[in-house]
Amino acid sequence: MTPQELQEIIQQGENSSVEFKESAVRPESLAREMVALANSSGGVVIIGVADDGMLRGIDAEINREEWAMNIARTAVNPALNVTYELLEIEGKRLAVITVPKGPDKPYQTGDKYLIRVGSTNRVASQAELMRLFQMSGVFHYDTVPVIGAALLDLHHTALDAYFSSCEIEFSKEDEATRSTLLINTDILTADRIPTLAGMLVFGVNPGRFLHQSGIMFAHYRGNEPGEELIDRQQIGGTLPQQVDTALAVIKNNLLRPSLIAGARREEPPLFPPEKVFREVIVNASVHRNYAISGSQIRINMFDNRIEFISPGRLPNTVTVEKLRTGVSYASNPVIVKFMDNLRYLDRLGRGFPMIYREMQRLGLKLSVRELGEELRVTLALCC
In order, the DSSP letters of 226-288 are TS-EEEEEEE-SSHHHHHHHHHHHHHHHS----EEETTEEE-PPPSS-HHHHHHHHHHHHHHS
Same domain membership, residue 257 and residue 274: yes
Give residue-wise pLDDT tens across range 214-266.
Answer: 999 999 998 888 778 899 999 999 999 999 999 999 999 986 544 444 555 55
Q: How far apart, in whole angstroms, are the C-alpha atoms of residue 101 and residue 133?
A: 14
Whether residue 239 sits in one domain with residue 114: no
Q: Is 37 helix (H, G, I), strand (E, B) or coil?
A: helix
Whether residue 320 sits in one domain with residue 236: yes
Residue 131: inside a domain: no
Report field, pTM of the whole predicted structure over 0.75: no
Assess whether 73 and 162 both reside in one domain: no
Flag whether pLDDT at 89 surpasses 50: yes
In a domain, 132, yes or no: no
SS3 percent helix, strand, coil of the chain, rounded to 5, is 35, 25, 40
Domain span at residue 200 reads 141-205
Q: Which CATH number characterizes residue 61's domain?
A: 3.30.950.30
What is d(CA 27, CA 18) in angstroms, rounded to the nearest whole number?
A: 18
Rg (CA), the chain: 25
Q: Which of 104-113, 155-164, 344-353 shows the highest mean pLDDT? A: 155-164
Tell me, yes or no, whether 113 and 194 share the same domain.
no
Whether residue 195 contacts residue 338, with contact meaning beta carbons closer than 8 Å, is answered with: no
Residues 179 and 231 in one domain: no
Cα 150 off chain centre by: 29
Residues 258 and 374 in one domain: yes
Backbone angles phi, psi at 204, to 5 degrees: -70, -45
pLDDT at 258: 43
Asked if the structure places residue 39 within a domain, the reply is: yes
Count of H-run helices and E-run strands, the chain = 12, 14
Beta bridge partners of 99: 43
Q: How far apart are CA 101 and CA 173, in angstroms?
A: 49
The string of pLDDT tens digits covering residues 334-349 is 999 899 889 888 655 5
What is the phi-psi region of residue 148: left when phi exceeds 0, alpha when psi lies from -120 to 50, beta otherwise? left
Q: What is the mean pLDDT of the chain?
A: 86
Do 215 and 351 lie in one domain? The reply is: yes
